[in-house]
Amino acid sequence: MTRRPIVLQGVGRLGSAILEGWLATGAVDPADLIILTPSEKPAAEAARARGARINPPLEALAEARAFVIGVKPAKWLEAAQAVLPHLAPDAVIVSVMAGVRGETISQGYAGRPVVRVMPTTGVAQARGVATLWAADAAALAVGQELFEPIAETVLLDDEALMHAATAVSGCGPAYYFAFTRALAQAGEAEGLSPEAAARLARATLRSAAAGVEGTEGLDALIDRVASPGGVTQAGLVALNENGALDRAVQDAVTAAVAKSTELSA
């Protein structure tokens, strides 16, 4: 029995990361992939070499059981018009767009079931994070099938919480990268060469990420590094003087939630 394919529309940064993760893990057989892209992309070409179909006649979409929207939020509705007449009525719409509500997407796709997924680009290495929400249990199951092999998945029971999940997880990697950059710059200011400071800061981020893999609480992880009265403890006190670090992170998440909410209006 022929398996119904998965369609990926859009191979930008996030779409490419998802595709790379699928190819690396075998989560989706390339032979079961249809990729829609207006231009050549390395990830799409790698998938083509392994059997994926790139921009086939739109009639081929009638076979699809899932349609993954990887285009920018401002363009999804326009992009939907060309494919909508060709999708099966039971095709699940998988949205990785920030800020666009499931009900809005479902209406744009003539009432088809929708699962919203907010993944990080770490899915490319099968080490991403993905938050999922769906009003339809079957749609949610499709989302889990596609993303659990390439991400740690968190299921939400309230779509409104997608704003917070986006602000924490979807935006979070940029926060960590910004902190890593600041750490490197501080190392330079203390006399390290730019190359040494950057290598130390980046390697430290990787090392810290490895340490958080287990189930140990975050406070315990901090205490493992920061001995009372020691060097690390002195740095932490300065970092969060009068709650400065906590407030800065809270402000970042609050601003991202507000922007996500604005985009969904």
- Give kind and range of the element (H or E) at residue 251: helix 244-264
* Backbone angles phi and psi of 122, in degrees to 5: -65, -10
- Rounded Cα gap, residues 101 and 107, in angstroms: 10
Q: How far apart are the first and last CA of the chain?
A: 43
In the three-class reduction of DSSP (H, G, I as helix; E, B as strand; rest coil), residue 226 is classed as coil
* Backbone angles phi and psi of 232, in degrees to 5: -65, -40
- Give kind and range of the element (H or E) at residue 235: helix 231-239
Residue 168 makes CB contacts below 8 A (sequence gap 6+) with 253
37 known ligand binder? yes
Q: Exposed, middle or buried: residue 85 (CB in 10 Å: 0-12, 13-18, 19+)? A: exposed
Among positive and negative, which fits the CA dihedral 206, 147, 117, 12?
A: positive
Q: Which residues are annotated as a binding site?
A: 37
Q: Which residues are annotated as a binding site for NADP(+)?
A: 37
